[in-house]
Chain A
Amino acid sequence: MNARILLWPGFAWLVLFFAVPLGIILLISLAHRAPDGMIHWGISAENYLRLLDPLYWAGPFGNSLVLAALTTIVSLLLGYPVAYAIARRSGPVKNLLLFLVILPFFTNFLVRIYAWFILLRPEGWIAWLLRALGLDLGLLGSPLGVLIGLVYGYLPFMILPLYATVERLDFSLVEAAQDLGASRWQSFWRIIFPLSRPGVIAGAVLVFIPVLGEFITPKLLGGGKVPMFGVLIEEKFLGRVPDWPLGAAMALVLMSLVLLVLARYFHQLKESRWVG
């Protein structure tokens, strides 16, 4: 039996409901929106030209890239020690720690962001704590608040691939390095970290890409003051003044950035067992 026939049902579904929609996004992005709201089909690059406006790139597009990069870096710095700590443990403690990291990932995203909403608002605990320390940061409605929410949402996505890679490393290599005179730090930096690169890249990609397209977190925690791709796209499709062609063009710009990152790192992504 040729196993290829098993491919068709799933593949056909994805073509119809995934590839075709992407195609429609492309088509609509080339269309024109008349002042009365009607869409005139055709091939025009006007939407893309509008998006070349530096205002977009200094604003929402730039914000998205910067926040995505920051989220990735912060997640890596915070998450690597955790992944390492779990990988080095054994037995029930390890499984428990792992479970505790996976759990937030499976709880409702909205719920968690909402929880941050509670924590970050001016009457909330964190603001209270900060004021006690003499800092008056308006976290809610600021990029910092959004960053916190983003790191919170995506930290498990960084920790898990890192863990998968670090766990498979041969730790006698660390002993060998120490035997040859390396300090703990040196044996980490020169042996463990380079060998965990696939995991680092996988984690980075799994954080960077979704954050680029985020809309809930910046909307809820940003109070309208932290525009990102997702927020803008939502406005253009479901806001008060819809502009589907422009929104579609934005979605495609977002998509191209994503594909750029993927093209560079897809292979490494599959190496790390998390995806494949």
Chain B
Amino acid sequence: MDEVSVELRGISKRFGGILAVDRVTLQIYRGEFFSLLGPSGCGKTTTLRIIAGFEHPDSGELLINGSPATHTPPQERDVNLVFQNYALFPHLTVEQNVAFGLEMQKLPRAQIRERVGRALELVRLSGLGSRFPHQLSGGQQQRVALARAIVTEPSVLLLDEPLGALDLKLRQEMQLELKRLQRELKITFLYVTHDQDEALKMSDRLAVMHHGRVLQIGTPQEIYERPATRFVAAFIGESNLLEGQVVHTAGRRAVVQIGPLTTNVLSDSPLQLHQRVTLALRPERIQLCFPNEGHGIWTGLVEELLYAGKETRYRVRVSPEITLTVISPGTNGITVGERVGLTWDLQSLRPIPEHSA
């Protein structure tokens, strides 16, 4: 059993009339890369700030490395925060910025200089030590903020949407950098982002938040393949959501009626006859084929298509009320107005549990 680095038990925080964090409970293991994922305003940043010590929860407990930390001031927590806007001290050089935390610990000068040098090397900024923040590019500033936070060797590193201000290419580079850094340093990373792509790519585990609540915690595969709620299914990747009713059951298999159409469903727990279900089907799991081949589960009419280079998106109408989004790699030469067949793996069609947000 891995050690728990950070534990939140029933943490809640209200701002005025709004419940920003709603009874959040989770455990983050030592050495993990854990992400808090959710749309803006879902409470992830507030949760992070509670862990850092800049907000006090109204209720609940926080434990850091096993000891209670709910009321400890931020200076005394073994946690460092990489701010979204970097918060670099403009009047200090890069070196002085990075050295700051070590100076607060009153370490001897020689040791400080050595550790600062190593940290700068780690983030690949050696040689820029005597520059001032305003002389650096956004990406470089970001790395200074990182170096400053890791040089004191905290047990947990909190990152508040650190890559938000960078352009696409740089962001992708930095994602790899951060992952590499985390593996090298073996520090627990708690990463906050609204970019689900990023979270899925980088995390060992992640928690999806919405309206202050944690909706689901799991590995990227678990979250992607088995979304626990409608929101998670829609927020992570894309999903076609279909409402239907169970018309036949046989153990874990069932037949669900969706409008005029029916389809087979495999579920983890048996479904009841006449139960209403929501099914999630990801667009990239649908394959297009000839409508008359007998392979297609359903057939439909292509109403729109959008070619985007590495993939093409289709909107296919399968019934008067139901249109599915399909994503296929490359191009199939299919045109608007054609009839196509759609088929998918049984595993790809997932029922979503009843009580979902």
Chain A residues proximal to chain B, CB less than 8 Å: 170, 172-173, 175-183, 186, 191, 194-195
Q: Which residues of B come within 8 Å of A, CB atoms? A: 52-54, 73-76, 79-81, 83, 85, 87-91, 100-101, 104-105, 148-149, 152
- In angstroms, Cα B90 to Cα A181, docked, is 18
Contacts of B85 in A (CB 8 A): 170, 172
Q: What is the bound-complex CA distance between A179 and B74, given in angstroms?
A: 5
The 10 closest A-B pairs by CB, nearest first: A181-B104, A180-B101, A176-B87, A172-B87, A178-B74, A179-B81, A181-B75, A194-B91, A182-B104, A180-B100
**Which one of B73, B79, B89 lies within 8 Å of A176 (CB-CB)?**
B89
Q: Give chain B residues whose Cβ lies under 8 Å from the Cβ of A177.
A: 89, 100
Q: How far is the CA of A177 from the CA of B149 in the complex (A)?
A: 11
Q: Which of A172, A173, A178 contacts B75 (CB 8 A)?
A: A178
Q: How far is the CA of A23 from the CA of B168 in the complex (A)?
A: 64
Residues of B within 8 A of A178 (CB): 53-54, 73-75
Q: How far is the CB of B113 from chain A (nearest CB, A)?
A: 17
Q: Which residues of A contact B101 (CB under 8 A)?
A: 180-181
Cβ-defined partner of B91 (8 Å) among A175, A176, A182, A195: A195
8 example contacts (A-B, Cβ-Cβ < 8 A) are as follows: A176-B89, A178-B74, A179-B53, A179-B54, A181-B104, A181-B105, A182-B104, A183-B75
B105: nearest residue on chain A (CB-CB)? A181
List 6 extra interface pairs beyond A179-B74, A181-B101, CB under 8 A: A172-B87, A175-B54, A176-B88, A178-B74, A179-B52, A182-B104
Expressed in whole angstroms, the minimum distance between the Cβ of B156 and any Cβ of chain A is 12
Interface centre among B85, B88, B100, B149 (most CB of A within 10 A): B100
Among B83, B87, B88, chain A packs the most CB atoms within 10 A around the CB of B87
- How close is B49's CB to chain A, nearest CB, in angstroms? 9
Check if B104 sits within 8 Å of A180, measured CB to CB: yes
Q: Contact: B75 with A182, CB < 8 Å?
A: yes
Complex interface: chain A residues within 8 A of B80 (CB):
179-180
Chain B residues near A183 (CB-CB < 8 A): 75
Residues of B near A180 (CB, < 8 A) are: 80, 100-101, 104, 148-149, 152
The CA-CA distance from A121 to B53 in the complex, in Å, is 53
Measured CA separation A194–B104 after assembly (Å): 17
Residues of A within 8 A of B152 (CB): 180-181
In the assembled complex, which residues on chain B have CB atoms less than 8 Å from the CB atom of A176?
Answer: 81, 83, 87-89
